[in-house]
C-alpha cells in the first residue's frame, strides 16, 4: 500500500518528473528559485511544493507525502481536499493509514463502486479529521450506525454529507447525528430507507436550521409528518428530492409552499397522491408569500421562485392546475432543450406548455410558406 510501503527510487523519480511538468506547464511557475535550477525532488521549496500538489491528482499527492519527513509534514498540513474514489481495492486500509496524517482535511470523497469502507475507517476520520466539512460516503453498504455515532462526536462542522445508498443506517443514528452536526446544509439520504423516516426528518427539522438541500429519493418510509417538520424547521430549503416517496400527499407540498419561500427545485416523481391542490398551493405561494419581494423581483425569475419541478407519474394532476403553475413561474420550461418542468408519464398533461414554447409555436405559424 502507498503509505506503508517504502517509495522506490523509480516511483520517486516518476513523481518528481510529474511534479516538475505541472510546475513548468500548468501553473506557469518557472522551475528556478533564486538562480538555482531545481533538478532533484529535495530542492523544491515547500511553498512551491504545496502549489504544485494543489494541481496534481490525489494519488500523486499521496505518493509525494511519502518522499521525506519535510514533504510529509508540508503536504499533510497544507492539503485540505482529498478524493480516494480512484482506489478500487483496500480503500479501508488506505483511510486508516492516511487519517492520522491528513488532519487538516476539509473535503473527503470516499465514493465507491464496490463497498470497501468499514466502521473503523470512519471512526479514524472522526478521531483525527475534526475540520471535515464535506464528506462523501455514498454506497458504503458495510457501514453501520457506529459510523454515524463517530461522525457526530468527532466532526461537528460537517456542512455537506452524502450517505446515499447506505442502507444499514437507522433513523435513531441519524437523529443522533443531527443533534451534533447542526451546520448541515446539504444532505443526501437517497436510498437510506431505514434512516430516512418521519422520526429522522423531525430531528432534522428541529436541529438543522441551515439545511438548503435534501435528497430523500426512494425513501418510502417518509410521510407527511416528516416533510411538514422539514418545512417548518428548515426555512432556507432550496432543493428537495422526494421521488418515490409514495406516502406523501398534498399536505407536504402545501407546507413547503407556505414555509420554504426559497424553494427552487422540487422532485415529486411517482408521488401519485399529489393532486391539483398541491399545484395551486405552489402557484399561490408566489402571490401570498412576501408579495413585495415578488414585485421587486419581477422579471428576475432566475433568482427567485421554482426553477425545476418533476411531476412525472403524478397521474392525478390536470392540465389546468399545472398550466397555472407553469404560468406563475416563468423559469419552468417545457420546451425542447430546457425542460425544467418534467411531466413524463402524465399523458393528460400534453397540452401544458411554457410561455416560450407557445411563442415559438406562434412564430412558426406566422412564417409565410413559399409556393412550390
140-167 confidence digits (pLDDT tens): 999 999 999 999 999 999 999 999 999 9
Same domain, 310 and 212: yes
Separation between Cα atoms, residue 239 and residue 226, nearest integer Å:
16
Is 223 part of any domain? yes
Same domain, 92 and 233: yes
Is there a single domain that holds both residue 117 and residue 265? yes
Is 95 in contact with 84 (CB distance < 8 Å)? yes
Q: Are residues 194 and 54 in the same domain?
A: no
Q: Is residue 293 part of a domain?
A: no
- Which of the pair, 40 or 187, is modelled with greater confidence? 187
Query: H-type helices in 99-249, by residue range?
Result: 119-128, 145-154, 171-180, 198-207, 224-233
Question: Confidence band (pLDDT; 50, 70, 90) for 27?
Answer: very low
| Within-domain flag for 4 | no
Let me know if 324 is exposed, middle or buried by CB neighbors in 10 A (0-12, 13-18, 19+): middle
Do residues 207 and 182 make contact, with C-beta atoms less than 8 angstroms apart?
Answer: yes
Average pLDDT for residues 65-77, to the nearest whole number?
Answer: 85
Are 117 and 252 part of one and the same domain? yes
Instruction: Round to whole Å and give the CA distance between 66 and 89.
Output: 20
Domain shared by 48 and 150, yes or no = no
How far is the CA of 368 from the CAs of 59, 223, 364, 371, in angstroms?
A: 62, 55, 9, 9
Same domain, residue pair 72 and 217: no
Residue 302 has pLDDT above 70, yes or no: no
What is the average per-residue pLDDT within 272-276? 98
Rounded to an integer, what is the distance from CA 277 to the centroid of its chain? 30
Assigned domain for 19 exists: no
pLDDT category, 71, cuts 50, 70, 90? confident
**Ramachandran category for residue 353: left, alpha or beta (phi over 0 → left; psi -120 to 50 → alpha):** beta
Q: Same domain, yes or no, for 232 and 262?
A: yes
Within a domain: 205: yes
Cell of 27: 501553473
The whole-model pTM stands at 0.86
Domain membership flag for residue 324 = yes
Asked if 121 and 102 sit in the same domain, the reply is yes
Q: Same domain for 98 and 231?
A: yes
Q: Are residues 73 and 92 in the same domain?
A: no
Q: How many angstroms separate the CA atoms of 134 and 109, rounded? A: 8
Judge if 279 and 139 occupy the same domain: yes
Q: Is the pLDDT of residue 9 over 60?
A: no
Average pLDDT over the chain reads 87
**Quick check: is 369 in a domain?**
no
- The reply to whether 216 falls in a domain is yes
Give per-residue burial for 12-26: e unless 16+ CB within 10 Å, then b: beebbebbbebbeee
CATH number of the domain where residue 161 is located: 3.80.10.10
In whole angstroms, give the CA distance from residue 306 to residue 22.
Answer: 43
Range of the domain at 200: 80-286+306-361
* Structural domain count of the chain: 2
Amino acid at each position: 500500500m502507498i503509505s506503508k510501503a517504502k517509495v522506490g527510487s523509480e516511483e520517486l523519480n516518476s513523481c518528481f518528473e510529474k511534479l516538475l511538468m505541472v510546475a513548468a506547464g500548468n501553473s506557469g511557475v518557472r522551475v528556478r528559485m533564486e538562480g538555482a535550477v531545481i533538478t532533484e525532488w529535495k530542492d523544491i521549496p515547500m511553498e512551491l511544493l504545496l502549489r504544485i500538489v494543489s494541481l496534481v491528482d490525489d494519488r500523486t499527492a499521496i505518493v509525494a507525502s511519502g518522499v521525506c519527513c519535510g514533504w510529509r509534514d508540508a503536504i499533510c498540513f497544507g492539503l485540505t481536499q482529498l478524493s480516494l474514489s480512484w482506489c478500487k481495492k483496500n480503500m479501508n486500509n488506505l483511510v486508516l493509514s492516511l487519517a492520522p496524517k491528513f488532519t487538516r482535511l476539509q473535503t473527503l470523497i470516499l465514493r465507491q463502486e464496490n463497498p470497501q469502507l468499514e466502521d473503523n475507517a470512519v471512526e479514524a476520520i472522526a478521531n483525527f479529521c475534526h475540520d471535515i466539512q464535506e464528506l462523501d460516503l455514498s454506497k458504503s453498504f458495510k457501514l453501520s450506525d457506529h459510523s454515524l455515532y463517530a461522525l457526530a462526536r468527532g466532526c461537528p462542522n460537517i456542512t455537506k454529507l452524502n450517505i446515499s445508498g447506505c442502507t444499514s443506517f437507522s433513523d435513531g443514528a441519524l437523529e443522533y447525528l443531527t443533534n451534533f452536526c447542526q451546520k448541515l446544509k446539504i444532505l443526501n439520504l437517497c436510498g437510506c430507507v431505514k434512516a430516512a423516516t418521519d422520526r429522522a426528518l423531525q430531528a432534522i427539522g428541529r436541529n438543522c436550521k441551515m439545511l438548503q438541500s435534501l435528497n430523500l429519493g426512494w425513501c418510502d418510509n417518509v410521510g407527511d409528518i416528516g416533510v411538514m417538520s422539514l418545512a417548518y424547521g428548515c426555512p432556507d430549503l432550496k432543493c428537495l428530492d422526494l421521488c418515490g416517496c409514495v406516502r406523501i400527499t398534498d399536505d407536504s407540498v402545501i407546507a413547503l409552499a407556505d414555509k420554504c419561500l426559497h424553494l427552487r427545485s422540487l422532485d415529486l416523481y411517482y408521488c401519485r397522491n399529489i393532486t391539483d391542490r398541491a399545484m395551486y398551493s405552489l402557484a399561490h405561494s408566489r402571490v401570498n408569500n412576501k408579495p413585495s419581494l415578488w414585485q421587486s423581483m419581477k422579471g428576475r425569475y432566475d433568482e427567485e421562485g421554482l426553477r425545476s419541478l418533476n411531476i412525472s407519474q403524478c397521474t392525478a394532476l390536470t392540465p389546468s392546475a399545472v398550466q397555472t403553475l407553469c404560468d406563475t413561474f416563468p423559469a419552468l420550461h417545457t420546451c425542447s432543450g430546457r425542460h425544467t418542468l418534467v411531466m413524463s408519464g402524465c399523458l393528460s398533461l400534453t397540452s401544458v406548455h411554457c410561455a416560450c414554447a407557445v411563442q415559438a409555436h406562434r412564430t412558426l405559424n406566422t412564417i409565410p410558406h413559399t409556393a412550390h
